[in-house]
Amino acid sequence: MPVLLILIFAAGVLLVFLSLTGDRRRSAPRRSAEPLHRLLRRSGGDDIGARELAVVSGASGVAVAATAQLALGWPVFTLAAGVAGTLLPSWYFRQRSLRRRAGIAEAVAEAVDALRDAARVGIGIEEATRVLARTGPLPLRDTFQRIDRDLRFDGFEAALLTARERVADPGFDTLVAALLMSYRVGGRNLGQVLDGLGRSVRADARARREVQAAQAQNVLSARVIAALPLALLVAIRATNPGYLAVFSTPVGQAVLALCLVSVVVGYAGMLRATQLPAGRRVLR
């Protein structure tokens, strides 16, 4: 038992140390938590409301907490498992949002190339967006279809601004800015503008992929360090419950709570140290 206790506490201390000494130059100050509906919209879950997500989160928390209580029977571990289970659906949608953003960055580059080619052969902007509604890249095809529907009732500018808020991506914001400027003042140089924009979007997406690949090892290390003592704790509890009987006492629960807090704080710090800065949106 002392060896396991030392291992759990050491894992938390190690995560805290790595989070404090990691490279923070690529991290950006985080804003306050975004509303649930914005998270769902960015992840593509437009058909799921905040109320449905709250219900699923509550059910997930109860299920995970009940499983932990049956497996270990420790109130502190049950509470921690319940909190983790409650946050699990939001974590899933956040990961889905990150994957969707990566796909949108590639799709914006393809859309820019298509619009550039259309401008060079003399096709108007509105007609070019209608073509993208039928043949555009899949991650943005639904967006251009909505633009096509909205411009019939609200006009081209209002349709683009609505789509910009729906997609909420810096690259798409820049594309909307270029299209609005060309629509208002004329599109003589639109092909050149879109050509440069396409190169910029592709370069940014490529740089992010390279940085994410380099940071994946640090994220994996943080997950392994955080999960190893907890997995070992569960395994020992399942095979030899008497060995961990000291954790069933109030003092043991308090010590276990401190160990869990150290692991959570260290893991959160490691993720923050490896977080990429979010691109700044324009026209807001």
pLDDT(44) > 60:
no
Residue 76 located in a structural domain = no
d(CA 196, CA 102): 20
The total of structural domains in the chain comes to 1
Residue 129 located in a structural domain = yes
Residue 154 located in a structural domain = yes
For the chain, the first-to-last Cα distance in angstroms comes to 56
Angle at which helices 75-120 and 138-151 cross, to 10°: 70
Tokens at 169, concatenated: 């991506």
Residue 69 located in a structural domain = no
Task: Taking residues 121-127, report their average pLDDT.
Answer: 81
Residue 178 located in a structural domain = yes
Residue 134 located in a structural domain = yes
Rg (CA), the chain: 25
pLDDT band at 15 (very low <50, low <70, confident <90, very high): low
Residue 12 located in a structural domain = no
> What range defines the domain where residue 164 resides?
106-202
pLDDT of residue 187: 60
Tokens at 72, concatenated: 């270990």
Nearest to 58 by CA among 93, 86, 94: 86
Task: Taking residues 44-71, report their average pLDDT.
Answer: 75
State pTM to two decimals: 0.58
pLDDT(271) > 60:
yes
pLDDT of residue 171: 82
Task: Taking residues 73-77, report their average pLDDT.
Answer: 82
Angle at which helices 190-239 and 170-185 cross, to 10°: 160
- What number of other Cβ atoms are within 10 A of residue 264's Cβ? 16
Please state, in angstroms and as integers, the Cα–Cα distance from residue 224 to each residue in 23, 152, 178, 211, following that order: 20, 53, 45, 21
pLDDT band at 214 (very low <50, low <70, confident <90, very high): confident
d(CA 145, CA 221): 42
pLDDT tens string 143-160 = 888 988 888 888 888 888
Residue 181 located in a structural domain = yes
pLDDT of residue 30: 40
